Amino acid sequence: MSHHQPRVVPWRNSDELVLLKNDFYPDFEFGTPDRRPAALAKVQAWQVRARVPHAIESTAQLTSAVLLDTSTSGASALHLRLSYSTAICRFVNGLLDPAQQSQFALPMHLLAKNLNLPASFVELRHAATHEALPSLVVLRAVALRALDWLWCDYWAAIGVERDERAAGGAEEDVIVTRARSVIKTWRRLRRDNPVKEIKSGDSSAAGKEVAAVIKECVDICKLRQEEDEGMQALIAALLEEKALIPSGKKKAAVPGFLEGLLEAMVEVLKAGEELSAALLREARAGRPEVLQTEVLQTEDVQPSYDTEFLAAIVAWLEFLTALKQTRSGSVGASVDIEELIKQALLQPNEWNMQLLNHLISEYPNLRPKYQALIELAAIHVQARSSGKSKQGHAVGKRSREAIEAEIDAFEERFNRIQQQRERTQVVVVPNEEKKTQFAGKWKRWEKTWIPKPLGIV
Amino acid sequence: MPKRTREDEAKATPRLSAVAQRRLREQQIQSPTPVVSESVVKVRKTKSTAQKRHEETVVPPTDISNDKLARERAEIEQKLQKRVSEVKAIGRDPTRILPKDWSTAQMSPASNASRSREESPVSKPSPARRDMPSKTEESALARIKREREEKKLSATTDDEDVEMKSVKGSDEDEIMESGAESTTPKLTQVSSLVPTDENYSVTDSASVFRLQPGETLVLVGVYQITVTKGSVNISGAKLSPSSPTQTIYAPMTHALPVIEAILSKRKQTTNSGTPGAEIRITNHHSGILEIGKLCPTFNTIWKGSSKDLGGNSFAPIFTSATNIPIVVIPTSWKPTLKALTKKATSTNASPPIIILAGSKGTGKSTFSRILANRLLTTAGLDSIAYLDMDPGQPEFSPPGIISLSVLTCPILGPPFTHTLTPTRRHHIGHTSPREDPAHYIRAIIDLLSVYRQSHPTVPLLINIAGWTKGLGLELLHDILSHSQATDIVFLGGGAAVIAEIIAPNTTTLHELSSVAVSSSSSSSTRFTPADLRTLHTMSYFHRLSSRGWDFTTPLTGFAPWVIPYTGTARGIDGVHILGETIAAKELCTAIEGTIVGIVVVAEHNLPESFTPTPTPTPLSSSADDELLLPAILESPLAPDVAECKGLAVIRAIDSTNGHVHLISSVGESEIEEWERRRERVVLVRGRLELSVWEMLLPTGGVAAAEKELPWISTGEGKRSTGAVWRVRRNVMRRGQR
């Protein structure tokens, strides 16, 4: 661990920065409150105390424009266009101006290329500055792309770097954070370009980024192999970050997104094979199992999962068990089809039925063995689903949201109490015997002063 | 002078090199140079002289007799003989310095501009000269040059040296510097005094120097000077045996002041023996020498190039192997200085109001110091008023504040060493008026009216920031009309813009060339304007109420004031944040651990909407943990009713008890004074920056701390996006000149 020359930063500690990161790039899946306005207020306060890195300032300005657009504030189209334009211009200028290292100005396109910044940003900046104000449609899209770019370039590494520096005791968390971060990065890449084909050896900027993501995935999988932690973390992240399973709010993006991801994951696993055969075995065995469990457990928790989620899982299983994948050397090779069928039969539900039908059609040779059982299970499922009330479903969902909110409130309160305790611990007990030095209403510190960092009472 | 680029410089090299070589040949042939005026003697850091010196080291030194006073010739020759024998005794030991008395070899006086042009080509060692310096020296030079270039690049990317103009003064300086740098392989004469047993004696308590008229002496460090015989001139101040002992601050951050013996016509006969001056230099340990222990950037500012002061607070510099900037007063300034002095001392008119304008780095501060010192020491004025309007590099207040001061003694040190408390101050909060020009102008109008009310009989010097364009010019226009200036001294080119806006029948415009080689405060090669601000701010906070400084600990080791901001016993009434509306919830985030201005205002002048007693601000819906926060004052305080009392650092906010912990060097008596007048105190947060060195703990800094310190990162700085956007204003377009 090397110590660089200390420098002043606007965030009080690295946690505050990580918090800001999560506030600016929230996950909307669980209905968490939008913390972006709070993040803007935080950056505004930071700017009063110190100079804020350009990435943070730009994120705030772009986010501010996005919020103006999404809110019901009644901002006119002109307001929005001006707001977006300024944010984008400042984003590009702040990035490229410091890159002007020579005495004479270099073309911005050249600088942008060196920084791996898409040339379209530079074009838009030029248009917004010197030409007709770009249309709102274009500005919206570019602003989102800029936010994604900032994520990949700056934010993705934020918590990770800190955790890497943290003590070894928290290694598990480090892996989890890394895994989450890489999956988030992946998602943003895909959103940027959802239909782009993924090829190995793609030398374009985006291709390189994809390759980097895949490499990072493989690296994570190799971490602490003996305990399988890296793999577990990646799988957990894939599930948690809704990378495997698209969230309900992105319906439109689902087909392309999922498809791309499938391809990418195949890449990940292939890369894994090249690097470590053992790892691949883990990958083959590991992931379907997890998915399997998810599906099979839906029996009990079904009301809380939405259909999209289950559909996605089934899609995954179908993909993995498709005939072409189970051929030797492919990803699904190690999946025990028969075992899967048995498991599915044991817990019959509509999703498992869908899966069973798929399996049977993919592997006709198994048909004679299981046909009768599957039909039996189908009858069972039909009977159950007809008896289920829709109301229960809704109740379950609401209660879960309520619980989430409650947990959040508790957490917030806990944090505050802890902060307060920290402060009260060092609060001084006034010493009556000492003479106090007054000047007007100003009073000198009464006891012997022990040097303390600024900000600590 | 048109902008010159390095490319131009390179192209021009052959031609100009030839000029320089011809000059060299001419000088070698020349018989002893004619007697020259004092002012020219000062011009000694030039390429040609350096070259000549170099040539002369080859020929026997006795061949040269170019001292300017013929009657002194014998004495000088004696010195030379002595030196020669010394040199022989020393052998080839390179660590010993070799003062060369013959370095006063004169070149014909030339304007600064033309001189610099001639100097520039030599910055690249010509093939003819390359064999002379040894290889190691060459590589050392190359290294120094590269480091300087790097430093310069980083310096120019700093947006805080906010000029309100597009042309950077440093362009010109760069060329001059490179000219001066080329002398580095050899020793450069810094003082014209050559130490001998007769003219330099050292005792435990003092160093005594005897200077011949016109001879100069340069010292680095902090020292007290007492003139025991004759008189000397230092930074425009004339000191004689009747003058009180003066403390002089001469750090390497700025051009070093030159002590020069004055040829006194009248008293020449009264003293038996040699004419000239005798001065006693003594140590002055004021604590400011220790600043380098806190901030490594300033580790060597009180030392010469490589020497240690060895327990002394100063050291004389006779010669140096590196470029040492010294204060050089251009000859062209003399008539103006004379005219202004005459105007200031005439009794039949109201005192002059003199504005100093010009681009950055042209020597406004140098000129103002020289003029002020001249008025106070030779013109016999008891006091003069000084309106300091540059919030970026102020003279008598820490950065971010502008002020009106009344001077009674000469200014003998750079701004960060002054201990004067201004008459009235206004907090600007930024290093440029750009953030709120209207407030800035109101502050200046107020300072001008205070001058008219309180000191109408003394001359006023107005030093304005280096603005000549755009908003700066508009501000200048406002200032001109409000100040009713009688004289405008414009340094450097571009006075035409001023000429257009002044009333010629009431105001005299003096156009002067900018200051000579590296003698202006801001063109110092090693320190950026941001560095100087850090230095000034640190110096301000570490100054003790008595004279002297305490640099034993960073500000974290200073016991704070504990000031309640709630209830009737509150000592702070509110907080104002310039240019932003910050939610109460984020108030601590914004101001804790930052520099604020202490502004006092009569209670009836506080805005009516402002409720000074803050109510507990609930940070959440739960009622059991309400935190007390200082009240936020939304609207700014008008300068005509509010006054700044200094700066403070909010080291912490104790929101449980409603106390703010403040570090400030404001004196107790001043606090009691505003309390007695029942004035209200508002802390105003601008954007002034606190040095990271002040935020570390005294013992071992960050590394020793158990956990990370608030607002300090020891991690690797981020590339591109992670970096703060620092504006470069000197990027040129192709084809731009």
B236-262 tens-digit pLDDT = 999 999 999 999 999 988 889 999 998
Report which DSSP code applies to A1.
Answer: -
Which DSSP string corresponds to A258-309? HHHHHHHHHHHHHHHHHH-HHHHHHHHHHHHHHHHHHHHHHHHHGGGS-HHH
pLDDT in tens, chain A (457 residues): 445 678 899 999 888 999 999 899 987 666 678 889 999 999 999 999 999 999 999 999 999 999 999 877 788 999 999 999 999 999 999 998 888 877 788 888 888 888 889 999 999 999 999 999 999 999 999 999 999 999 998 998 887 755 555 444 445 666 777 777 777 777 777 666 655 555 555 566 666 676 777 677 667 766 665 556 666 666 666 655 555 554 433 333 334 444 455 555 555 554 443 433 433 344 444 444 444 444 444 433 334 445 555 666 666 666 666 655 555 445 555 556 777 777 777 776 777 777 778 777 777 777 777 877 887 777 777 776 655 444 444 444 556 777 788 888 888 888 887 777 666 554 444 444 445 688 888 998 888 888 888 988 8
* Span of A238-252, A363-377, B73-87, B500-514 with lowest mean pLDDT: A238-252
Tell me if B651 and A454 make a contact (CB, 8 A cut-off): yes
- What value does the mean pLDDT of chain B take? 75
Instruction: State residue B598 phi and psi, 5-degree precision.
Output: -95, 115
The angle that helices A277-301 and A205-222 make with each other, rounded to 10 degrees, is 90
What distance in Å separates the CA atoms of residue B391 and residue B163, rounded to the nearest whole number?
11
Q: Does A436 touch chain B (CB under 8 A)?
A: no
Of all helices (H) and strands (E), which one includes residue B355? Answer: strand B353-358
Is A54 near chain B, with CB under 8 Å? yes
**Closest CB from B583, B585, B656 relative to A427:** B656
Q: Which residue of A has its CA nearest to B689?
A: A50
pLDDT tens-digit readout, B287-303: 898 898 888 888 888 88
Residue B85 has a pLDDT of 62
Answer whether B555 sits within 8 Å of A48, measured CB to CB: no
Distances (CA, A) of A355 to A242, A283, A306, B422, B685: 21, 21, 17, 85, 65
Nearest residue of chain A to residue B577 (CA atoms): A48
Radius of gyration of chain A (CA): 27
Q: Is A429 on the interface with B (CB under 8 A)?
A: no
Specify the pairing of strand B487-491 against strand B508-512: parallel
Interface of B with A in 593-632 (CB under 8 A): 593-594, 619-620, 622, 625
Find the mean pLDDT for residues B492-512: 81
B151 vs chain A: nearest CA distance in angstroms?
A: 13
Indicate the residue of A45, A99, A439 with minimum beta-carbon distance to B589.
A45
The pLDDT of residue A183: 74
Q: Which two tokens stand for residue A274?
A: 């090249």
Sign of torsion, CA B701 B706 B710 B711? Answer: positive
Higher pLDDT, B108 or B26: B26
Residues in chain B, overall count: 737
Residues 6+ apart with CB under 8 A from B703: A3, B714
Tens of pLDDT, residues B113-139: 344 444 444 344 444 444 444 444 445
Most confident of A147-151, B504-508, B515-519: A147-151
CB contact under 8 A, B710 and A103: no
Beta-carbon contacts of residue B207 (< 8 Å; ≥ 6 apart): B200, B201, B280, B281, B282, B316
Percent of chain B with pLDDT over 70: 65
Class of residue B71 by CB neighbours under 10 A (exposed 0-12, middle 13-18, buried 19+): exposed
Report yes or no: B698 and B557 within 8 Å, Cβ to Cβ: yes
Query: Which is it for strands B460-463 and B384-388: parallel, antiparallel or unpaired?
Result: parallel
Query: What percentage of residues in chain B have a pLDDT greater than 90?
Result: 33
A100 contacts A85 by C-beta, under 8 angstroms: no
Pairwise pLDDT comparison (B670 vs A179), residue with the higher score: B670
Residue A457 is nearest to which of B661, B662, B734, comparing CB atoms?
B661
Please indicate if any CB of chain B lies within 8 Å of the CB of A252: no
Task: Give the pLDDT confidence of B425-459 residue by residue, as tens digits.
Answer: 999 999 999 899 999 999 999 999 999 999 999 99
Which residues lie across from A444 on neighbouring strands? B561
Binding-face residues of A in 69-88 toward B, CB within 8 A: none
Q: Kindly report, residue by residue over B527-565, the tens digit of the pLDDT.
A: 888 999 999 999 999 998 666 899 989 999 999 999 999
More confident residue, B292 or B274: B292
Note the pLDDT of residue B617: 52
Residue B467 has pLDDT above 80, yes or no: no
Query: pLDDT (tens digit, 9 = 90+) per residue, B473-499?
Result: 888 888 888 988 999 998 887 777 778
Whether the model pTM is above 0.80: no
In the sheet with B424-427, reading across from the earlier edge strand, the strands are B424-427, B401-407, B384-388, B460-463, B353-358, B487-491, B508-512
pLDDT digits (tens, 9 = 90+) for B148-176: 555 554 444 444 443 343 333 333 333 33
Chain A CB contacts of B675 below 8 Å: 439-441
Residue B698 forms contact with A (CB below 8 Å): yes
Task: Note the pLDDT tens digit of each residue in B172-212.
Answer: 333 333 334 444 457 778 888 888 888 899 888 899 999 98
B702: left (phi over 0), alpha (psi -120 to 50) or beta: alpha
Sequence-separated (6 or more) residues with CB below 8 Å from residue B113: B1, B513
- Do B5 and A103 lie within an 8 Å CB cutoff? yes
Residue A62's pLDDT is 96
- For B246-270, the DSSP string reads EEEEE-TTSPBPEEEE---SSTTTT
Residues of B in contact with A456 (CB under 8 A): 652, 710
Q: Please work out, in degrees rounded to the nearest 5, the angle formed at the alpha carbon of residue B514 by the alpha carbons of B509 and B518.
A: 155
Instruction: Tell me, yes or no, if A427 comes closer than 8 A to chain B by beta carbon.
Output: yes
pLDDT in the model for residue A193: 62
Q: At what angle do helices A229-240 and A277-301 cross, to 10 degrees?
A: 40
B515, B177, B172: which is closest to B362 by C-alpha? B515
Chain A residues in contact with B661 by the CB 8 A cut-off are 445, 457
Q: Please indicate whether, in this complex, the C-beta atoms of B561 and A49 are within 8 angstroms of each other.
A: no
Q: What is the DSSP letter of B512?
A: E
- The residue of chain B with its CA nearest to that of A149 is B721
Q: A415: burial class by Cβ within 10 Å (0-12, 13-18, 19+)? A: exposed
Question: Which tokens belong to B617?
Answer: 């601000």
Of B587, B674, B701, the CB nearest to A6: B701
Residue type present at position A107: P
Substitution target from B619, B628, B724, B732 for chain A, most A beta carbons within 10 A = B724
Give kind and range of the element (H or E) at residue B538: helix B529-542
Q: Does B559 touch chain A (CB under 8 A)?
A: yes
Rounded (5°) CA angle B335-B338-B340: 110
B-contacting residues in A 186-245 (Cβ below 8 Å): none
| Residue for token pair 């798929």 | A358
Decide if B721 and A154 are in contact by the 8 Å CB cutoff.
Answer: yes
A264 vs B605, higher pLDDT: B605
User: Quick one: closest CA in B to A450, which residue?
Assistant: B557
ipTM: 0.73
Contact assessment for residue B519 and residue B325, using Cβ atoms and an 8 Å cutoff: yes
Q: For chains A and B, what is the number of CB pairs under 8 angstroms?
A: 231
Which chain A residue has the Cα nearest residue B707? A13
Residue of B nearest to A1 (CA): B715
DSSP conformation letters of B152-205 = HHHHHT-TTS--BSSS-THHHHHHHHHHHHTTTTS-EE--S----TTTEEE-SS
